[in-house]
Amino acid sequence: MADTYSTVDLSRVLDVSLQTIRNYTKEYARHLSPTATPPKGQTREYTESDAHKLALVADLMRQHFNADEIHAALERGDTAELPGRQATLSADAAPTAQLIAVMKQRDVLSGQLEATRRQLEDKQGEIDRHLKRIEDLSREIGKLQGQIEALTAKDD
């Protein structure tokens, strides 16, 4: 592994854009080395530790973790391996990360369930309106049949 990485190097290793690396660096600067966030005009140099931290950020972003959750993971000292870019969470953090992922899935499914429930209620309303219209038409048919029978009886 390299001793330091440029923004271009990390972009290639993590398979994200240069702008994404810059955005991650800005958002998670407090977790990175001073060389990753140098004064304006100086070149960024990411340490091996920075690279592993940004690999974790990239992994968690792909899993739809939010910034607060990623900051918490970085504060716990979680990192990710570079080649496979698979997050290696501390033993205590792994169940937490799994719980967060499951909770996110639950929230998505709950939203889908609620949308389906609303659609079902809308369809039930349509069915009820159609049934009422059928009842009204059936009553009207009954009246018309009565009128036809009365007219037929007069003609006899």
Same domain, 104 and 64: no
Rounded to an integer, what distance in angstroms lies between the CA atom of residue 27 and that of residue 2?
24
- Helix (H) or strand (E) holding 4, with range, is strand 4-5
CATH number where 78 lies: 1.10.1660.10
Q: How many CB atoms lie within 10 A of CB 51?
A: 23
- Same domain membership, residue 53 and residue 63: yes
What is the predicted pLDDT for the residue at 73? Answer: 87
pLDDT tens, the chain, 156 aa long:
457 899 998 888 888 999 999 999 999 999 999 999 999 999 999 999 999 999 889 989 988 899 999 998 898 888 777 744 444 444 555 566 666 667 777 777 788 888 899 999 999 999 999 999 999 999 999 999 999 998 888 876
On the 0-12 / 13-18 / 19+ scale of CB atoms within 10 A, 4 is: middle
Clarify whether residues 110 and 134 are in a common domain. yes
> What's residue 87's pLDDT?
46
Range of the domain at 100: 91-156
What is the count of structural domains for the chain?
A: 2
